Structure 1
Amino acid sequence: MSLSLVTPPAAEPIALDQVRARLRISDTSQDARLTHLIRSARQRVEGDTGRACLSQTWLERRDAWDGDGRLCAFGTQFKLPKPPLISIDAITTYAADDTATNHDPADFFIDTASEPGRLALRPNGHFPQPARNIDGIEIRFTCGYGETAEDVPGPLVEAIGQLVEAMFDGGLEVGMPASVKALLSPWWRISL
């Protein structure tokens, strides 16, 4: 299985001018560094929580539907990574000769209200099986809270802002401040 970013977010959850104001920087001499820190802080928050802040498109490649605990409900539902799920844009399987077959996402029920989002079979449906043993399934999906910073929950935005401040003072390898951990605690990714 692999997960690849296809289309990154068009913006960041916190604006450059907001970060300048937080850090009391009045000129633009640090803008390149601050822009890098904002992106790094967002990616760290997304990585630690397993979520997507702003709308972004991902491609998951799989050998099979089962195998990692995401096929559930007696094999009728498949959980997607990176909540919240906005849409499933394409489902493709591959034959042994690498011929692609595109499957209409409308043939499935797509649950964007649950977290994680799910792809579920309709009555008498089945998950299309690939004939290729490696990366025989591709699922292209869009996830995130929305297109603008206003769509992202406030605690996540504040955590990104505080993390930018900590990284500005201590570098990219700075540990996670306790206040950021507290803000992110409702969204921590739990694995068993």
Structure 2
Amino acid sequence: MRPMLIGAPAIEPVSLAEAKLWLREDGGEEDQLIQALIVSARMTLEAYTRRFFVTQSWRLVFDSWPRSVGATSTLAIPFAPFQSVVAIRVFDANDNVQIVPATSYRAPGANDGGRVIFNPAPPAAGRSADGVEIDFVVGYGALASQTPEPLRRAILILAAHWREKRGDDADDPLPKAVAQLAAPYRRERLL
């Protein structure tokens, strides 16, 4: 399984204006730095919590269907919060693509990882590598306000911490306040 980001978030959970207010920054000289800190803080906290904060699109690529699909006709999507499946493609030995009809599976949204339930079983992949592609959408929502407030606050605190440190203590773990705010949202690693 190889995950690939195919549609980055259109917005950040914290705006530049919100961050500047938090940082008590009036000028525009550091806008580029502050924006970069917001993105870096979001990505760091997404990795820490194993959740995606704002809507984004991903693709999972498999050489062939995992065993679970053959045994239970269910495929786990280990990304959270799971919103929906956009498309499922299966390639034959001649690299021809077959779109799996949306009427042959269910993919209910979930606050945790998602799942795709097939009925009937999907067609087998014919090529030996990258035979299956699944495009899907994850995140709390398309609006910044849909990201839980503690995670938004953690982004602000982490961005302020990094701005103040400016590279000092590069191996320093997350500040305690950031870890405490994000801890309730942290998913345990299943794989």
| Shift, 1:45, TM fit | 1.0
Task: Using the TM superposition, give the Cα deviation of residue 81 of structure 1 relative to its aligned residue in structure 2, in angstroms.
Answer: 2.8
Alpha-carbon distance change, 160 to 72 in structure 1, aligned in 2, over 3 angstroms: farther
Q: Are the aligned partners of 1:78 and 1:119 in contact in 2 as well (CA < 8 Å)?
A: yes
Q: CA deviation at 1:82?
A: 2.1
How much has 1:18 moved relative to structure 2?
A: 1.0
Residues 102, 73 of structure 1: CA spacing in aligned structure 2 closer, same or farther, 3 A cutoff? closer
In the alignment, which residue of structure 1 is the partner of 2:153? 158
1:145 aligned residue: 140
Instruction: Mark the CA change 1:114 to 1:184 in structure 2 (over 3 Å): closer, same or farther.
Output: closer
Aligned to 1:53: 53
In structure 1, C-alpha distance between the alignment counterparts of 2:71 and 2:94, rounded to whole Å: 30
In structure 1, give the amino acid aligned to 2:152: V
In 1, the alpha carbon distance for the partners of 2:122 and 2:161 equals 46
CA contact (8 A) 1:93 1:101 kept: yes
| Alpha-carbon separation, structure 1, partners of 2:3 and 2:16 | 29
Q: Answer yes or no: is the 8 Å Cα contact 2:57–2:135 preserved in 1.
A: yes
Which stretches of structure 1, 4 residues or longer, exceed 6 Å deviation after superposition?
none
3-state SS of 1:141 partner:
strand
Shift in alpha-carbon separation, 1:148–1:26, aligned structure 2, 3 A: same
Report if the CA contact (8 A) 2:80-2:110 is conserved: no
Over 3 Å counting, the alpha-carbon distance change for 1:184 and 1:114 in structure 2 is closer
2:161 and 2:123 mapped to 1: Cα distance? Answer: 47
Structure 2 CA distance, aligned partners of 1:119 and 1:163?
Answer: 35
Contact 2:55/2:141 (<8 A) preserved: yes
Higher mean C-alpha deviation, range 82-91 or range 181-190: 181-190
Shift of 1:73: 11
Give 5+ residue unaligned stretches, structure 1: none
**Offset at residue 72 of structure 1 (A):** 7.5
Where does structure 2 lack aligned partners over 5 or more consecutive residues?
none
SS at match of 2:72: coil
Give the C-alpha shift of residue 148 in structure 1. Answer: 0.7
Map of 1:125-144 to 2, 5 A cutoff?
Answer: 125-144=120-139
TM-score, with structure 2 as normaliser: 0.90
Counterpart in the other structure of 2:20: 20
- Aligned with 1:88 (options 85, 90, 99): 85
Q: Secondary structure at the match of 1:3?
A: strand
Q: For residues 12-43 of structure 1, what are the alpha-carbon distances to aligned partners after superposition, in whole Å with 9 as ceiling and x for unaligned?
A: 00011111111111111100000111011111
Aligned length: 187
When the two chains are superposed, the root-mean-square deviation of aligned CA atoms in Å is 1.9
**Aligned counterpart, 1:79:** 76
TM-score by length of 1: 0.90
Structure-2 separation of matches of 1:60 and 1:84: 15
CA shift at 1:191, angstroms? 2.3
Query: Share of identical aligned residues, percent?
Result: 29
TM-superposition CA deviations, 1:74-105 (whole Å, max 9, x none): 52321113211111000001111211111123
**Contact preservation (8 Å) 2:38, 2:155:** yes
Q: How does 1:61-72 map to 2 (within 5 A)?
A: 61-66=61-66, 71=68
State the 1:170 CA deviation.
1.8
